[in-house]
Amino acid sequence: MDEGVRIAIVGMGGIGSHLLRSLAPALHSGRLSRSLGGVSLHIFDSDSVGESNLMHQSFAPSDVGRKKVDAIRDSMGEFLGESLEIVSRPVDVRSPLDGYGFVIVCVDSDEARRAVHGSGSPWLDLRCIGDGFIAIDHRVKAEVVDSLTSNTGSASCQLEGSLEDGNIQFGYMASAAHGAQWAIQMLRIFDGQDGVMLPAPSSSSITFGTLGRLPVEGDGLEAS
């Protein structure tokens, strides 16, 4: 696809795989994609599908052993066409991504997060644990972003023992929904539409609701 908007999604785990499965069908047809000249989704992840992924990531048993980006791209083939393409990139992101309209990072790596934060494009950073998630984006104050991205280490979105017990927690689904909504609104902004509002950077729990909003630059919005 030579024209249109290029979007990067980093990580095809619990959040990223469900985000892609929500976003691609929404973009495969309709006036928005056509008006933008098409949308190209570039998906990044070096991992292969494992048996333990099947309980909370959007893959089938027949995908086990395949690269995540290839498996999910191939499964979305019926949605691809003139208005939408998906480009699989089976690599880890460790340096800023250039040339994208915006970037969404959904991987549990502070190195990848920092690379995305430094890409120079609007970005969204989605994280989850258990039934809760946090959504940080390019509007959040730099000192807050830094404090939330300082050697936090890698961790599964599932609580310890949840996979073994079958006690699956669905914060990753709520996070993916936030990401899909954010992406559509960003594309509407690119399309020049009026009255578009991005979802607020915040932390939330399915059980307890909104836990707090993150302070953003310029409008005085403070975390509560």
Listed by start position, the domains of the chain span 5-213
For the stretch 203-215, pLDDT in tens is 999 999 989 999 9
pLDDT for the residue numbered 215: 94
- In CATH terms, the fold of domain 5-213 is Rossmann fold (3.40.50)
Average pLDDT across the chain, whole number: 92
- Distance between CA atoms of 95 and 17, rounded to whole angstroms? 22
79 close to 20: Cβ distance less than 8 angstroms: no
110 close to 152: Cβ distance less than 8 angstroms: yes
At which residue do the structure tokens 């939408």 appear?
84
Q: Say which residues have a Cβ less than 8 Å from residue 96's Cβ, sequence separation at least 6.
A: 115, 116, 118, 119, 120
- Distance between CA atoms of 112 and 91, rounded to whole angstroms? 11
pLDDT for the residue numbered 153: 58
pTM of model > 0.85: yes
Sheet holding 202-205, edge to edge: 84-89, 39-44, 5-10, 102-105, 123-129, 132-137, 202-205, 209-213
pLDDT for the residue numbered 156: 73
Q: Which residues of the chain have pLDDT under 50?
A: 219-224
